[in-house]
Amino acid sequence: MSHTLETVVNETAANPQWAVIWLHGLGADGHDFAPIVPELLRPDWPAIRFVFPHAPVQPITINNGVPMRAWYDIVSMDFASRADAAGVTASVQALDALVEAEIARGIPAERILLAGFSQGGAVILSAALRWTRPIAGLIALSTYLPDPKAAADARVADGIRPPVFMAHGAHDPVIPQGIAVESAGMLKSLGFPMEWHSYPMAHQVCAEEIHALGDWLDARFRAA
């Protein structure tokens, strides 16, 4: 995977003081969550640069090898081994390059948030265990931590432990909520401050979730 990804960028005002890098799910692209910005914004927030990268197109094993945008191949239905480890690592490196680009544009790591839905969320959670960057927080929607044992073994001792907003659908047929609960529990045990939300929905987002995320973001901005 190239570490240079095409992106959709939405700046809420001139001279952004914060950045949110938001990774989409399997088969979608960077446009997928761009419409969420006006629903999320609040009048007194600082200027934010939202960066929505496009995942590369690659064949997906469980979809009979059909190519689509994906952050990694899905090689099995078993959650313990379904994510292609090399693909996850490549996406973590690509995400790191996006963070570097925001730092180069003048936004410190402490004001960069990472967000992801489904596959995108799996990548940001994996990245958090491998980095030492002091990022502002993680937003993990309808997702889980791939291969938690390997992820825990790969974590760096002096790594980051940013606050996490994690939300899931109680009726999610793609990633059962129990898998996400296990991931949240593991992250919490490793020292990540965790805010967990469950909603009566499937593999999607809902208005109540966006409102709760807005409250969580508001707390991050006010604490800075």
Provide the annotated active-site residues. Answer: 118, 172, 203
Alpha-carbon span 126 to 21, nearest angstrom: 15
Closest by CA position to 55, among listed 21, 82, 19 = 21
Bridge partners of residue 10, in order along the sequence = 50
